[in-house]
Structure 1
Amino acid sequence: MFPTQPVSRRHALKTTSAGFGMVALAGLLGQDGRKAAAATAGPKPLAPKAPHFTPKAKKIIFVFMQGSISQMDTFEYKAKVQQDDGKAGPGGGKVTASKFKFKQYGSTGSWFSELLPNIAKHADKLCWLRGLHTDTPAHPQAVVQLHTGSANAALTRPSMGAWLLYGLGTENQDLPGYITINPPPNFGGAVNFGNAFLPAHFQGTRINDQGDLPNLKPQTATNLQRKQLDLIQSMNRDLAGSPGGADQVDGIIESYELAFQMQGKVPELLDISKEPKHVQDAYGIKAGPAGSFARQCLMARRLSEAGVRFVEICQPGWDHHNNLHKGLIDRCQSVDQPTSALLADLEQRGLLEDTLVLFGSEFGRLPTAQGVDGRDHNITGYPMFMMGAGVKKGFTYGATDEYGIKAVEGRMHTNDLHATLLALMGLDHEKLTYKYAGREFRLTDVAGRVARDIFA
């Protein structure tokens, strides 16, 4: 990786750009952040930037249920579906009632099934978006569209976390501003947290549910790492300033320096063993795969508390075309307690004053049966919920028809969701643009409508 002999400027670029981000480069760096900062010339691309208008939230935690959670069996009670069990559905197929018991919670009377008793305790604090819809029923395209605003595979777009960093920068210069924990390995992969045509320093940093960032541990003595880094960075800056210098070089320089600083802070920040036992017990922390999502939730709280602008955590396994009922029991048991604990922990620490939590999937599922025990995809009407900074408590925006198939009130396309999230963070989605290939691009493409009715 790092050369031990003098290298040409072009070879230096080739060496640094191979990993193209801090993850692949971080193991080569040292621990003195102040010296690293002094070694970097020019303005800081990740320095905090003024929003377009006063923000209602400063940070986002996105709790992503990959595969599309069945709302018909969790938090979208439809009396008509229960009554018409076994009858022909309005769009074809056989209506299938949920086998799980539902009841209403809180003064809002929000419906939850028996699968989510802990999240249900927050009923009066949630803000529901129940009229969502998207463009494609295929997971790869829908997941990418949820994360980047476009399902068009012909042109990779920046992820919403990258757009937030581009628009706002980050408040903690010793940490990445955008972290994704256990991102989907398929369904778009790194595209879902990538920077695309934005400069490289706006891409997300990937970690796993054990809190491990690949190659973060230094491989050589600190003083030697600093000398190596200074040499490479000097050549990188020369190359960046030369005619025809690659645009990516500035991102590489920033990635090296951030990684240098991260070695001292990130491992400690991600070490959830330092949390009191009662906190770990509240999240349901346990060893092995069964505790994966609980660890993610606790790390997300720690990262957000430390000032990370955008944190995403992921629980896969919701694509229940078969084995629906047993599968839902398993998945809900893995997310119910940790999600509830995350919301409660953020609230009691006062973090929800500037942190917004978004919970949901790339689309929903149908009220009709698929096979013996399954439900197919539904892109025409499905819910997500929010809680925290900037949104109303105990509020529902939008609705689907009596069978839960189509959004009929408060309809929100994925572009509208993104426009609303940006607005909550103080950004005008029509002004947050980046010129590439001769045109101005934005997260919401040429659409997007802000759902201001949900604003607190």
Structure 2
Amino acid sequence: MDDLQKFAFEKSRRDFLRGSALGLGSIALGTMLGCKNPGEQVVKQVLASAAGGDENQPLVNPHFVPKAKRVIYMFQSGGPSQMELFDYKPKLYQMHGQEIPASVLGTARVSGMTSNQNGFPLAAPAATFKQYGANGAYFSDLVPHTAGIVDDICVVKSMFTEQINHEPAVIFTQTGNQLSGRPSIGSWISYGLGSLNNNLPSFIVMVSKGGGDQPISNLAWSNGFLPSHHQGVQFMSGKDPVLYLSSPDGVEKVDRRRALNFIREFNLLQKDKWQDPEIDSRLNQYEMAYRMQMAVPEIADLSNEPQHILDMYGPDVKTPGSYAYNCLMARRLAEKDVRFIQLYHLGWDHHGRLSSGIQKATRQTDQASAALVKDLKQRGLLDDTLVVWGGEFGRTSFCQGKLTQEEFGRDHHPGAYTIWMAGGGVKNGMVYGETDDFAHNIVKDKVHVHDFQATMLHLMGIDHEKFTYKSQGRRYRLTDVAGEVVKGILA
């Protein structure tokens, strides 16, 4: 018997004896209290303890009737400026160049990039605004296509977070904790609700190219301590959306099937011997890859898309890896009932030359984002698809750098920012929350990141307080120990 086998044997024996010692006392107590078959119940508990317990089980069924079956999350990495897009503040035009009032700035944290600059002069938005829709919501001229779907979306202007730097803020938004290692929201939903299509992963990620150089880590779609087959599967741009999915030249499908069967037998032998749950993940991944060989090429083939649909998404839609292409792919994946589809677009980190930078970002994203909502709606998919658009934080109302329309930028601002949502049980045609005259502080209906996460889970039929996973002796949940469902935006 080798050292590893000895350790496994001793551990199992210790667990059994410890459980038995506690169990004998429980049998005696149960007998005195008149419990029926106390010994049988304790034996079940001891065996469950020795096997690792059955606490960490997927939900299988939601806690209550869900409003949404799937999620498409368009994450705009870098921090889109709320003042240039959705949060119209006339005061900023009037006070351009003046110092932000001390009462507004308060004691809020500013980043090291502006903490030492000489003053905090306010900067007028590099955009103009008009009212749209039945409720007269304000949108800037940079997002005309999003303005065109105003009656189908809910704009939340009162988001806030404690994280002021990109990596912790992104990880916090995606996993509920600023430190890496926790499962992402897509992994939580994949684990809890499972797949709606056995031929495709339940959690798919696409990162658009050409957006910007602000890095994004795959920790944002990590499975953390959940079984590894719940990690987001990244679709790449190019001929093969999933690397190494195609069979090598000269290898027939029947040969690949025979090889997988052979590998499966070895894995099952290992599973019987070691009871390692990661072997199940390995088996799932091999089988999923085999089924994806047929499903993925079909998804990536745009030849059957009508021209008017391609035109709706914009001129970049046929360029693999572009944001427009990924939005169209998201709709096609939603049609195939992929549970969680995550799009990442970089290029929103405008510390300088904000005017030209945000024009580029909105040219790349505005038309396709709106097209996705319209496309889902016309196909009857929007009602049970939750669509989310937003980044990890907002930008400051005061400038960073020189105050000229061509050169000034805005620093990170976690205290107030804007996202929008659509479909899947969210009220449409409404604006929720309000900031002050400078878009700096929230004055009505604050929404913390944990509240946002709790609401997403709620729309999927999950009670965020009851949805936990025990790891290393502690029960974890996506929302940690906080979060309340934002009932004001629920349809």
- Is TM more than 0.5 here? yes
CA, structure 1 residues 270+289, in 2 after alignment: closer, same or farther (shift >3 Å)? closer
Aligned to 1:181: 206
Distance 2:328 2:339 in 1: 16
Distance 2:219 2:302 in 1: 28
**Partner SS, residue 242 of structure 1:** helix
**RMSD between aligned alpha carbons?**
2.1
Distance 2:208 2:219 in 1: 10
Letter in 1 for 2:140: S
Q: With structure 1 as the length reference, what TM-score do the two structures score?
A: 0.86
CA, structure 1 residues 145+439, in 2 after alignment: closer, same or farther (shift >3 Å)? same
Aligned to 1:238: 269
Asked if 1 retains the 8 angstrom alpha-carbon contact of 2:58 and 2:191, the reply is no
CA, structure 1 residues 451+287, in 2 after alignment: closer, same or farther (shift >3 Å)? closer
Aligned to 2:252: 221
| Higher mean C-alpha deviation, range 89-98 or range 179-188 | 179-188
Task: Establish whether residue 147 from structure 1 lines up as the match of residue 174 from structure 2.
Answer: yes
Aligned to 1:30: none
Aligned to 2:419: 384
Equivalent residue in structure 2 for 1:162, among 184, 187, 194: 187
Distance 2:222 2:194 in 1: 16
Aligned to 1:88: 99
Aligned to 1:283: 313
Aligned to 2:50: none
Deviation at 1:49, TM superposition (A): 2.3
Asked if 2 retains the 8 angstrom alpha-carbon contact of 1:183 and 1:189, the reply is no
**Partner SS, residue 179 of structure 2:** coil
Task: Establish whether residue 360 from structure 1 lines up as the match of residue 360 from structure 2.
Answer: no
Deviation at 1:188, TM superposition (A): 5.5
Asked if 2 retains the 8 angstrom alpha-carbon contact of 1:181 and 1:313, the reply is yes
Equivalent residue in structure 2 for 1:267, among 286, 297, 304: 297
Q: How does 1:193-232 map to 2 (within 5 A)?
A: 193-210=221-238, 212-219=241-248, 220-232=251-263
Deviation at 1:99, TM superposition (A): 2.7
**Partner SS, residue 331 of structure 2:** helix
Aligned to 2:457: 422
Asked if 2 retains the 8 angstrom alpha-carbon contact of 1:285 and 1:295, the reply is no
Letter in 1 for 2:66: P
Aligned to 2:49: none
Aligned to 2:375: 345
Asked if 2 retains the 8 angstrom alpha-carbon contact of 1:209 and 1:293, the reply is no
CA, structure 1 residues 289+376, in 2 after alignment: closer, same or farther (shift >3 Å)? farther
Asked if 2 retains the 8 angstrom alpha-carbon contact of 1:148 and 1:160, the reply is yes
Asked if 1 retains the 8 angstrom alpha-carbon contact of 2:318 and 2:325, the reply is no
Percent identity of equivalent pairs:
41
Distance 1:54 1:346 in 2: 21
Asked if 2 retains the 8 angstrom alpha-carbon contact of 1:137 and 1:378, the reply is yes
Distance 1:289 1:303 in 2: 17
Distance 1:435 1:46 in 2: 10
Q: With structure 2 as the length reference, what TM-score do the two structures score?
A: 0.80
Aligned to 2:157: 130
Distance 1:131 1:287 in 2: 32
Distance 1:47 1:297 in 2: 29
Structure 2 gap segments, 5+ residues each = 6-55, 106-118, 403-407
Asked if 2 retains the 8 angstrom alpha-carbon contact of 1:46 and 1:173, the reply is no
Equivalent residue in structure 1 for 2:338, among 302, 308, 312: 308
Task: Establish whether residue 401 from structure 1 lines up as the match of residue 412 from structure 2.
Answer: no
Letter in 2 for 1:132: M
Aligned to 1:292: 322
| Residues 169-201 of structure 1: per-residue CA shift (max 9 Å, x gap) | 111111111100117997561111111110112
Distance 1:259 1:148 in 2: 26
Aligned to 2:147: 120
Task: Establish whether residue 448 from structure 1 lines up as the match of residue 448 from structure 2.
Answer: no
Distance 2:205 2:317 in 1: 21
Q: Which has the larger radius of gyration?
A: 2
Deviation at 1:375, TM superposition (A): 0.4
CA, structure 1 residues 305+93, in 2 after alignment: closer, same or farther (shift >3 Å)? same
Asked if 2 retains the 8 angstrom alpha-carbon contact of 1:77 and 1:111, the reply is yes
Letter in 2 for 1:273: S
Asked if 2 retains the 8 angstrom alpha-carbon contact of 1:144 and 1:151, the reply is yes
Q: Which runs of 4+ in 1 moved over 4 A?
A: 45-48, 183-188, 287-291
Structure 1 gap segments, 5+ residues each = 1-9, 11-44
Distance 2:326 2:122 in 1: 36
Distance 1:157 1:87 in 2: 43
| Higher mean C-alpha deviation, range 188-197 or range 131-140 | 188-197
Distance 2:265 2:452 in 1: 43
In the alignment of these two chains, the number of paired residues is 410
Aligned to 1:15: none
Aligned to 2:447: 412
Letter in 2 for 1:177: S
